Amino acid sequence: MEITISSIMKRGKLIILSGPSGVGKGTVRMALMARPELSLFYSVSMTTRPMRAGEAEGREYYFVTKEEFLRKVEEGNFLEWNEFVGNYYGTPKDKVEEKLNEGKNVLLEIDVNGARKVMENCKDAVTIFLIPPSIEKLEERIRGRRTEEESIIQERLAKAESELAQAHLYKHTICNDKVEKAADEIAKIILA
Ligand code: 5GP
């Protein structure tokens, strides 16, 4: 057997981070990405939702039209994808495989339905569900963004409730009261 660098390199871990809209997944993710010892690669998803102020193409998401997204679905380009409050979101497959093979720990920040699909195929994924300190705090954060109209806010709040009820599907539940504390707890789990 040929011995190559990749054949002796340990495959990275697949890490799924979920939690209701407004819980602060993005902020916790950024705190984690700032820790080189975790050797993380963040898998940037593709979405059809409009870009929010402060977001950039290829950083938060790859923003595409519904037609482009559905073409990628047809071509089998997603590890998983889902519809969330009227828009599509999906995890591009190729990069995830490539980075895991390079020994990187790959972080997916995806909703509960998408996470369930990945869990079925990848039993050893490290699954983490982020919860808010309270429902009131969550609503405050969703409204504080001031980027969505009331009907969308209501849909996101309803979705948040149904997602919170599925926290038990995850191996770990972390409360995002203080970002650095939540990041510390997640870092310990990843390094364990
Ligand atoms: P937002 O519009 O607030 O950025 O994201 C809405 C929801 O979609 C969040 O729960 C987020 O984690 C989830 N999401 C983001 N990317 C993906 C993805 O690639 N797949 C799935 N299933 N959900 C995603």
Residue among 88, 93, 95, 109 to mutate when testing ligand 1 (max atoms within 8 A of CB): 109
Q: Determine the pLDDT at residue 141.
A: 86
Q: Determine the pLDDT at residue 184.
A: 98
Taking residue 147's Cβ as centre, other Cβ atoms within 10 Å add up to 13
| Residue 126, strand partner residues | 15
Map tokens 């990405």 to a residue: 33
pLDDT profile of the chain (192 residues), mean per 10: 62 97 94 98 98 94 98 97 95 96 97 96 96 91 80 89 95 97 98 94
Q: Determine the pLDDT at residue 2.
A: 60
Taking residue 119's Cβ as centre, other Cβ atoms within 10 Å add up to 18
Q: Decide: 110 in ligand 1 pocket, CB within 6 A.
A: yes
Q: Decide: 93 in ligand 1 pocket, CB within 6 A.
A: no
Q: Determine the pLDDT at residue 142.
A: 84
Q: Determine the pLDDT at residue 4.
A: 60
Q: Are the C-beta atoms of residues 17 and 107 closer than 8 Å to each other? A: yes
Query: What is the rounded end-to-end Cα distance, in angstroms, of the chain?
Result: 31
Q: Decide: 80 in ligand 1 pocket, CB within 6 A.
A: yes
